[in-house]
Amino acid sequence: MLLDFERGDRDAPKGHALAYVRNRDAPDQILGAYLVVPPIAIDLGKYMPPMFAGKLGLPDMGDIAAVPLPPVPEPVPSLEHLRRLAEARDDDLLALGTVDATDVQAMLMLVTEASQSYASVYKEAMQHLAPAAAVAAQALPAAASDTVDDVVYSLMSDRDKIAAMGKLLGKLRYAVESASASLRDETVREMQALAARLPAKYQAPALVEAAALPGDRGRALASLRLDRCYKLCNEDYMAVERLDREIRDLA
């Protein structure tokens, strides 16, 4: 099955994607499902009693390549809603065409086939990535990133990192408002190092940039961006949309 990537890159899939279909009899109705490629192989046969595994044929299934949730697409508010979700969550977005929404079996088969195709694309991309990553690692000094901060940040959750960004934000605002160039530069470097450890969806570098702006605008913009990080971490996507609008208006 040839997947239509509406958002994302076929050559670099993220391993998690929102997929949608249109109802053939009502083209404005959108139905969606979520496709996940587990980063660790799952063999369900290991977790099922032998008597059930035999009946279900699990030994023949092998490792699960991808999981569609739900297995049959469910109605969603709109295509624009899915696009905003994909943007906020940094998901791939796949268009799977048009279906008869009353034919549950056909939709099940379509999503299952899309999951298998997405898993194949992801596996192929990872095979190309692995050698490149190995070469890049060999080119770097062995202890280039073995700093105390790197170790600490690697053990922190996204929420902890955002909280740490908030503390550094206060420090940076003090440096900016007191015109302490040395403290400002030092704090910016600390925040940039932490921002690099957060997923792209949080837009942490933009938070650092806003925090370094002088005056009320910088203070307000940094506050909005920090609040956006928290709302995104809480998966409060309606609040994220509102904050994005306020950030655009202020920027």
pLDDT of residue 64: 57
pLDDT of residue 59: 39
Q: What is the three-class DSSP state of 251?
A: coil
Give the ranges where the chain is alpha helix by DSSP (H).
Answer: 50-56, 58-61, 79-89, 104-139, 148-154, 158-177, 181-195, 204-211, 215-233, 237-250
Three-state SS across 193-235?
A: HHHCCCCHHHCHHHHHHHHCCCHHHHHHHHHHHHHHHHHHHCC
The answer on 125 and 84 residing in a single domain is yes
The verdict on residue 143 lying in a domain is no
What average pLDDT does the segment 165-194 reach?
91
- pLDDT tier at 126, thresholds 50, 70, 90: confident
The answer on 214 and 183 residing in a single domain is yes
pLDDT: which is higher, 238 or 146: 238
Q: pTM to 2 decimals?
A: 0.51
The answer on 163 and 97 residing in a single domain is no
The verdict on residue 15 lying in a domain is yes
Number of compact structural domains in the chain: 2
Which residue among 138, 164, 184 closes a domain?
A: 138
For residues 124 and 82, what is the distance between their CA atoms, to the nearest angstrom?
A: 26
In the predicted model, is pLDDT for residue 124 greater than 80? yes
Domain that holds residue 83: 4-138
In this structure, are strands 26-36 and 92-99 parallel, antiparallel, or unpaired? unpaired
pLDDT per residue as tens digits for the range 53-96: 444 444 344 455 678 899 999 999 999 999 999 999 999 999 99
What average pLDDT does the segment 110-137 reach?
75
The answer on 56 and 130 residing in a single domain is yes
In the predicted model, is pLDDT for residue 139 greater than 60? no
Percent of the chain with pLDDT over 70: 79
- pLDDT tier at 35, thresholds 50, 70, 90: very high
The answer on 20 and 122 residing in a single domain is yes
Q: What is the mean pLDDT of the chain?
A: 83
The answer on 174 and 104 residing in a single domain is no
